[in-house]
Amino acid sequence: MRFSGSTSPRLVTWMVLILLASSSSIFGQQTSSGTKPRASGYTPASRAIAYGQKAKVRGSILRRDADTFSIRDDQDVVTVVLLTNDTSVKSKGGFLRFGKNYDVTNLVSGLPVEVEGVGNHEGLLVADKVRFESSDLKVARMVDKRVAPVEQANERLSGQVDELGEVSRMAREDAGRAHDRISSLDDYTVQDSTTVLFKVNSAAISLEQQRALDDLAQKAMTTKGYVIEIKGFADSTGDVARNRVLSQQRADAVVRYLQEHHDIPLRRIVTPFGYGELRPVADNSSADGRRQNRRVEVKVLISRGMNASRD
């Protein structure tokens, strides 16, 4: 955040204070004069206003809801304020000047306010008056514009985390089923296979290699109970770690092609793994040998039991 040369020290001070207050909801702690950082999960004390009791509360708006907002005062005590159609919301007046009327929508998080009202049966402070400095409102609005998108992003992220949790659960179930298949691959026989070759330092599948995958996919989909085993490899040139990553990228490229172009279910694909320069099928000392080693081996496997039932 940049400040122009005309920004007043008071404005800068309030912006810093409000940003610190806002950050407490993200990090679960807040620092204030004479207090220590709060532990994650800390909940401030709350104040209930006795029924019919008049009260005046000063503090900063912590949370804004449809009909209420919460104030946290200097003692770190939270009071819930109830707004009504009769609540007067104004800026504070001064010598020879009157305060300006505002709509309740201007009561944004972080705004320092002073509230006068009376308690109701639920212990809420029914606001008669809400007052604040107009300069503080300008700062609070500015900060709210910056903080609100972050809070909305956090809400979206929370929903995405829930969604990812469900995806993760399903993935674990699929992984469990895949493990069962992998553990029993000795009970499978190779029904069909192809080898996809790649250019140097590339994971792109050429048109010729795509046609080979197309033929294999068509045959696989006519086979009952098939699984596809995919293994990626690289030649010995270059860094060992880079070759391992490149071989995995090649295996992933084949998986993606089969899924996107032939709708092969991912549950039908087992052990898509990159072995790097391990397990060469040709001598890496020659150009042709290195070409053969830059490969992905794709095998269509079916259960021996199914073969037996066919016989």
- Give the pLDDT band (50/70/90) at residue 30: very low
Within a domain: 88? yes
Q: Which domain holds residue 279?
A: 180-310
- Give the separation between CA 89 and CA 128, rounded to whole angstroms: 9
> What end-to-end distance do the CA atoms of the chain give, in Å?
75
Helices (H), the chain: 9-27, 134-183, 207-221, 240-262, 287-293, 304-310
Question: Alpha carbon of 303 to those of 47, 51, 169, 187: distances in Å?
Answer: 69, 77, 27, 6
Q: 37 in a domain, yes or no?
A: no
- Over pLDDT 70: what percentage of the chain? 66
- Are residue 187 and residue 255 in the same domain, yes or no? yes
Domain match, 296 and 206 both: yes
Asked if residue 36 is part of any domain, the answer here is no
| Residue 96 is assigned to a structural domain of this protein | yes
In a domain, 202, yes or no: yes
Is 234 domain-assigned? yes
pLDDT of residue 272: 76
> Is 265 contained in some domain?
yes
Q: Is residue 238 part of a domain?
A: yes
Tens digit of pLDDT for each residue in 201-256? Answer: 999 999 999 999 999 999 999 988 888 999 999 999 989 999 999 999 999 999 99
Entry pTM: 0.42
The pLDDT assigned to 88 comes to: 92
SS3 of residue 138 by DSSP: helix
* DSSP for 184-211, written as a single string: TGGGEEEEEEEEEE--TT--PPPHHHHH
